[in-house]
Structures are given as C-alpha cells and as structure tokens.
Amino acid sequence: MVVGLGHGSTAILAVRRIAQLLRDGHLVDILGVPCSLQVEEEARRLGIPLTTLEEHPVVDLTIDGADEVDPKLDLIKGGGGALLREKIVAQASQREMIVVDESKLSPALGTRWALPVEVTPFGWRSQQSYIQSLGASVVLRESSDGAPFRTDQGNLILDCSFGPISEPIRLATKLSQRAGVVEHGLFLGLATDVIVATDQAIRHLKRGKSHDCD
C-alpha cells in the first residue's frame, strides 16, 4: 500500500503512529510518499520505507491536516508551507483523509485563515499587486529570523486575507491562470474524508454528504 505522508503538526502524529505500527508488526508492505523534505527526514529517521510518485504514481491513501474545512469538505492548506507538494500528492491519491480538530471547521473558506499562495521569487511584488486587486490583504510570509520564508522548491509564500470566499472555484481559476503563481492553498474537491476531533467524540465526515460547520 502506498501512503501519502502529510506535512504539519497533525499529520506528523499519523507518521509517527504508522512507524509504531510497522515496528510492532501490525502494518506490513507500506511505502510512504512524503509531502515535504521535513517529513521525508522524519520518516527516514522512524524507519518508514519511502517511495516516490515517479515509482508509484498512484497513492492509495494520504493522511494530512488542514487549516480550514468548509461544509463541502473543501480546504485551505499551506499554513506549514508545503502546499505544492501536498496538492501534487493529494491529486495522485485515491483517498485523501484530512485530520483536524473542530476549530478548523468553518462556514466558508477564508473566514478564519488567510489563503497561502506560493509564488516565484522573480516578480513576486507583481503577484502581490495582482492578488490585492482581487480583494485580498497580502503579506509576504517570513521565517522566524525575519527573512522571507522559502518553500522546499525555493519559492515564496504570500498569505492572502480575503475574508469569507464566496466563489472559491472562481478565485482558484484566477490564481491558477496568473504567471508567477506556482500554486495556491485552495484544495477543492480533493478531500474524500475528514476526521474531526472534539472534546467529546471523533466525527468522520465524508464527501458527498451534507455537513454543517459552525
């Protein structure tokens, strides 16, 4: 089984659990496809056998987190900076399982989280101006030392605050058509399952069913 290994504080818990199950013999014949260099390093340290999309272009299951989830199970991702690789793996996955706590549920994408947009360093200010023309407040993401944050591909991330996004498909199209925009954090129609942890229970939401997000 080929498993996508998501990036972020929630997904890394799944990576560690997979490693434990492999060590205990409860899982066998697992190959992981990491969604970031950081996850790749952690998976190797934990002894999880790894592969690539070149060797296995179809992923059976990916386990990942999200920054925001709407009632249709569409997502904003990219808070950890790995949105490009995460989307490549998600689009190659037969099943995309997202694990979040209930604070990530939202009535509309953009209500609680800025939209990350990965852009090339060349001409990034023109992308900032373009996205601002679409109605967003745009900030260049910085690392802890104050330098511009760099993705695994050496690109920059613009955090774009739109407020509630009424037409995410239309916005995704406008962003994707712009030269210099490498990828955006709107993950539309990709999540098949969302696992929501609350203080009282675990909820399993599935695409195609009606869900209400507070």
Task: Supply the residues annotated as catalytic.
Answer: 86
SS3 label, residue 132: helix
Amino acid symbol at 1:
M
Q: Which residues contact 161 (CB under 8 A, 6 or more apart)?
A: 110, 114, 115, 136, 137, 138, 139
CB of 158 within 8 A of CB of 149?
Answer: no
Rounded to whole angstroms, the Cα distance separating 125 from 120 reads: 10
Rounded to whole angstroms, the Cα distance separating 75 from 63 reads: 14
Buried/exposed 90-126: b ≥16 CB within 10 Å, e otherwise: bebbeebbbbbeeebbbebbbeebbbbbbbeeeebee
- Show the tokens assigned to 83: 């949105």
